[in-house]
Structure 1
Amino acid sequence: MYDNEKWKKYNELTKNSPPRQMVVKAVELFGDFVGNAIDIGSGAGNDSIYLINYNWNVLAVDKSSNGFDNIKNNLSNEQKIKFSSKQITFEELDVLPKCDLINSSFSIPFCQPAYFNKFLDVIKNSISVNGRFAGNFFGKNDGWSKSDQMSFCSIEDVRNIFSDFEVEFIEEKEYDGKTAAGNDKHWNIINLVARKK
């Protein structure tokens, strides 16, 4: 399923986008606290850059390395020490370091269903107590939901997955829109910020 050229094009199209809403919300909820974050499916790196600009240390994780250069190119020399990266697929990921925040903007659905539960366990296990998850899931009515290479959830599924977290923000949206490449798509998105108890 992995198409490096497709993701390279996506990263190029999105490299000047603002940070995603859930990571902004999570940073607001942390207040003055800064710590260690992992950006899962970091893509072009906009969320990673945002976090580093707020003095977070960031480990960017993505199956494609071409977004890592965009991150480094947008950091000062002093900021670069706050950035590290790991190229790996979601399916290969067995462990992550402990962290205070995991951000995963529009990437978790691209985990193959056979690895989905393990992948989410790796994510949840890496978050320290009082740490947060911020990210998105695709709902059952999403335009891509017929794909057997992607993972989809109901809002109830998401609540169950994060049953040992305090859900601080959750919403489901459904609308017709465009992809980053400009193609028509029906979107069904579940947005979440949750704090580990």
Structure 2
Amino acid sequence: MKPMLNFPETSRFSRDWSAYYQAIAGRPPRETLRKALALFDEEMSPQMPRLAVDLGCGDGRDTVELVRREWQVLAIDGNEEAIAKLRDRNDFNPLLLESMVMQFESLALPRSVDLINSSFALPFCLPQDFPNLWKKITASLRHGGRFCGQLFGDRDSWATVYPNMTHYSRAQVEPLLQPFDVKHFEEEEHPDQTPLGEPRYWHIFHIVACKK
């Protein structure tokens, strides 16, 4: 049984994004992205650059890694500050980057994408909008293209604190992955804290999957 943690009573997710970006500054790209890129590296090299969408890119923790590897990247985030921070960075080739400020409910994605990366971002989609968002992600990927990222589980403490976020049980996640050949699936669950030092019980699904 997970421990009881004390959180503010609220039904709407709010965040000090400036403090969050400062707290994670300098951290390496997510492990799920590194795993997906390693799988691409095993393939015969196509004409570069490949096309990736970094969905919920934040200040560019994963985006910059993709650009450094000479991927063409469309970086999307609903937070204008995040995109501004990404654009202010000077450690990548800006000619390989396109960026957009766009919310999940109005998201438009290109076709025949090689990789869609969404690190800890998809759960911020409203539950009623998530099924359509996932359809867009699946349709956007080419056959053999990959998705990597995270979904939050139903036992995560934020599932009750923030009901306007999307949290799924494992039984709900597995059907989402039917159009994919799953290369990596890890269910993580433990008490800890957020990068801002807030107590949290984490229940996360880490996913790397290839579209059939």
TM beyond 0.5: yes
Which of 111, 127, 138 does residue 124 from structure 1 map onto?
A: 138
RMSD between aligned residues: 1.7
**Residues 83, 100 of structure 2: 8 Å contact kept:** no
Question: Which protein, 1 or 2, shows the higher relative CO under an 8 Å CA cutoff with sep ≥ 6?
Answer: 2
Kindly state the Cα deviation for residue 177 of structure 1 after the two structures are TM-superposed: 1.0
With structure 1 as the length reference, what TM-score do the two structures score?
A: 0.92
Deviations 1:107-140 (A, max 9, x none): 1111011101011111111111100000001011
**Residues 64, 91 of structure 2: 8 Å contact kept:** no
What does 1:142-161 correspond to in 2, within 5 Å? 142-146=156-160, 147-161=162-176
**Identity, % of aligned positions:** 34
Higher mean C-alpha displacement, 159-168 vs 12-21: 12-21
Mapped to 2, the partners of 1:8 and 1:117 lie a distance apart of 29
**Does the alignment pair 1:195 with 2:210?**
yes
With structure 2 as the length reference, what TM-score do the two structures score?
A: 0.86
Which of 126, 129, 134 does residue 115 from structure 1 map onto?
A: 129
Kindly state the Cα deviation for residue 65 of structure 1 after the two structures are TM-superposed: 2.1
Residue aligning to 2:189: 174
Mapped to 2, the partners of 1:76 and 1:112 lie a distance apart of 33
Residue aligning to 2:21: 11
- What count of residue pairs does the alignment treat as equivalent? 194
Any unmatched runs of 5+ in structure 1? Answer: none
Larger gyration radius, structure 1 or structure 2: 2
Higher mean C-alpha displacement, 80-89 vs 63-72: 63-72
Mapped to 1, the partners of 2:159 and 2:55 lie a distance apart of 21
> SS at 2:191's partner residue?
strand
Specify the code of the residue in structure 1 equivalent to 2:154: K
Residue aligning to 1:97: 110
**Residues 116, 147 of structure 2: 8 Å contact kept:** yes
Residue aligning to 1:62: 77
